[in-house]
Chains A and B, each alone.
Chain A
Amino acid sequence: AQSVTQPDIHITVSEGASLELRCNYSYGATPYLFWYVQSPGQGLQLLLKYFSGDTLVQGIKGFEAEFKRSQSSFNLRKPSVHWSDAAEYFCAVARNDYKLSFGAGTTVTVRA
């Protein structure tokens, strides 16, 4: 079954520092992968998605993610974080039946 693992429950990063969030997936065929962000008490906002093609995907808010088939990973990165990036981040993989499987999420805290 398709599944997603986000190994880091919580990450703290200084404002202006780089950020990398890890995501590993389990899926037999070509995966369709997503990163969403959720501010406290809010819905999920799509940051970026990978369906095919270039393995480096650019998203909104300065985020990018790289698909690495050999490592079954789809890690999210941002070169310089802003205080407004403090949120919970979810990686998801599309299953072959219109459904998404979500990881448990990584909470990002940004310190001044």
Chain B
Amino acid sequence: DGGITQSPKYLFRKEGQNVTLSCEQNLNHDAMYWYRQDPGQGLRLIYYSQIVNDFQKGDIAEGYSVSREKKESFPLTVTSAQKNPTAFYLCASSIVRGTSYTSTDTQYFGPGTRLTVL
């Protein structure tokens, strides 16, 4: 089955520790995204990547880092610099057909990782 997997589903970390969230897709999608979800705030974009070895900051990138070494993988590291890391993190992917959004396809989402920092 094609889809997006995120692991782990629940993650607990002590304050001050870096933690890496996994996102893998086998949809052969070009673009991948990381969102943060907090109650009552919808989804906010952290980072996105349109092609391998390239990524851009989203709206709330401070305290986060990413890499895109393979097309199917887009891990997110929540660093100790992130002031309020406890949240639900969602990964998504989409096809990129051209150079404008009109050329991209719908974003499909993984099941999410709930990170709790103690």
Contact = CB atoms under 8 A, between A and B. Distances in A.
A95 B43 contact: no
A96 B33 CA distance: 15
Q: Is the interface of A mostly helix, strand, loop or mixed?
A: loop
A17 interface: no
B45 A9 contact: no
Contacts, number: 56
Contact of B109 (A9, A44, A51): A44
A32 B101 contact: yes
Nearest to B31: A98
Interface in B66-118: 90, 92, 94, 96, 100-102, 104, 106-112, 114
Nearest to B43: A102
A105 B42 contact: yes
Contacts of B109: 36, 43-45
Contacts of A46: 106, 108
A67 interface: no
Contacts of B106: 34, 46, 49
Interface residues of A, number: 24
A92 to B, nearest CB: 8
A94 interface: yes
Contacts of B90: 43-44
A99 B50 CA distance: 11
Q: Which of A9, A43, A95 has the most CB of B within 10 A?
A: A43
Interface of B: 4, 6, 31, 33, 40-45, 48, 50, 58, 90, 92, 94, 96, 100-102, 104, 106-112, 114
Given A43-B110, A98-B96, 9 more contacts: A43-B4, A44-B92, A46-B108, A51-B102, A95-B101, A98-B104, A99-B58, A100-B45, A102-B43
